[in-house]
Amino acid sequence: MLALRLTRGSRPLVQFRRLLVAAASAGTGFLLLYVLAGALAGPAGSFPRLLWTLVPLATTVHFAVAVARTDPATRPREGMDAAGLGPVRRGLVAAISTAIACALGSALALAVFLHLRGEVSGLPFDGAGASLLHADQPVPVAAALTLLALVPLIASASAALALRPGARGPRTPQAELPWGISLTACGLAVEAYAGPGGPGMLTGWALTAVGLSLAGPGLAYACGALVQAVRPGALRLLAGRTLQEEAPRVGRPLGVLCAVAAGALTALALRGSGGLHVPLGPLTGPTAALVGACAAATLLTTAVEIRQARAGARETLRGLGGAAGVLRGAVVLRAVALLAVCAPLSWGVAQLTVLALTR
């Protein structure tokens, strides 16, 4: 009950982020139901389609965990411990809030799925959705509910693990950089061996995405070092030191966004030769849009979390006479530095992927 009251009484911006999580969960849930209906109509080739749904599932869970980190209920406040909300209980409240948002999205996905199949109130869109969703085949209720429960269960469990006491301990960004580069190289090698289409290409792309996620903090830390190199002034020194401090948190979602951007550039480059052969049919485009939106929203949500964590430092700088223009300039400089590194990185990984798939 306490989790429900805190969820209902949150500020509009917090509720908006939870609605975005529900929307992402609805998109992933609808895709899972679409794959289930296709598997019942034609079992051949259903396993590759099911594997490709893991990509939006992973990005949705990643986004849900990032939103849970920014939940005001997870931050310690005066009187919270006296009310029984210690670190463990606060993480549990955030996990329950995440489960509620994702369950709302799954329920919406089920309602839209049944409506398009004509099982609620007639056939909308002149029956176009019925043929796409194989309305002539009955869908097992247990299988549909099991698939729809995946996002709420995995997202809430991941949020609880991410917010457990001691989970935000210090990490060394440079130590993960070699592992990230190695996994990215392994992913490109797997893609070159497997070729376009099939589970091998998905495995290679997943390894590449994990590698870029691991390398992201190290790259962000290196960006901070470059910003403050060669006799920096106050602006560059502030931007570089802050970027190095934020590297462990901003690096991972930044690496995931680079992987998604590289995948999009690869698809555009291979458009003339048949594309990437993603077996999701008409939902390939909406799925790609969902993955890209979740990756971008995760990075923006992480930036909000960092801004909340640095509120005290900003007030201290302003109290010492720091101008607001300098603080805004440091933010812009950090964003430009990250873009200057990540854009060529995404393009380079895309070019290597194209060479691996068209060798």
Q: Is the pLDDT of residue 209 over 60?
A: yes
Last residue of a domain, one of 136, 168, 200: 168
Closest CA to 149 of 98, 108, 99: 99
Last residue of a domain, one of 168, 200, 234: 168
Say if residue 120 is in the same domain as residue 154.
yes
Same domain, 133 and 190: no
Cβ partners under 8 Å of residue 296, min gap 6: 257
Highest mean pLDDT: which range of 8-12, 80-84, 102-106: 102-106
* Together in a domain, 220 and 237: yes
Q: Per-residue pLDDT averaged across 29-38, rounded?
A: 92
Q: What are the helix (H) ranges across 310-323?
A: 311-319
126 and 8 assigned to the same domain? yes
128, 198: one domain: no
Domain count, the chain: 2
- Is 90 exceeded by the pLDDT of residue 208? yes
- Mean pLDDT, the chain, rounded, equals 84
Q: What is the pTM (predicted TM-score) of this model?
A: 0.88
Nearest to 80, CA basis, from 91, 70, 95, 69: 91
- 196: pLDDT strictly greater than 60: yes
Band (6; pLDDT cuts 50, 70, 90): low
pLDDT at 43: 76
State whether 325 and 183 are in the same domain.
Answer: yes
State whether 287 and 307 are in the same domain: yes
**What share of the chain has pLDDT > 90, as a percent?**
41
The pLDDT of residue 4 is 56
pLDDT band for 83, please (50, 70, 90 cuts): low
User: How crowded is residue 272: how many other Cβ atoms within 10 Å of its Cβ?
Assistant: 7
120 and 189: one domain? no
pLDDT of residue 122: 59
The pLDDT score that the predictor gives to residue 57 is: 96
pLDDT band at 123 (very low <50, low <70, confident <90, very high): low
User: Once rounded to an integer, what is the mean pLDDT over residues 25-39?
Assistant: 92
Say yes or no: 14 and 128 in one domain.
yes
Q: What is the mean pLDDT of residues 84-99?
A: 77
Residue 257 reports pLDDT greater than 90? yes
Domain boundary among 168, 192, 227: 168
166: pLDDT confidence band, cut at 50, 70 and 90? low
Q: Is the dihedral of CA 151, 98, 56, 174 positive or negative?
A: negative
Q: Which domain holds residue 125?
A: 1-168
Same domain flag for 222 and 357: yes
Q: Record the tokens describing residue 149, joined without a space.
A: 């429960």
Q: Which of 2, 3, 1 is nearest to 95 (CA)?
A: 3
Is the same domain home to 234 and 276? yes
Percent helix / strand / coil, the chain, rounded to 5 = 80, 0, 20
| Average pLDDT of span 86-103 | 83
Range among 113-122, 320-329, 345-354 with highest mean pLDDT value:
345-354
More confident residue, 206 or 138: 206
337 neighbors 243 (Cβ within 8 angstroms): yes
Same-domain status, 194 and 124: no
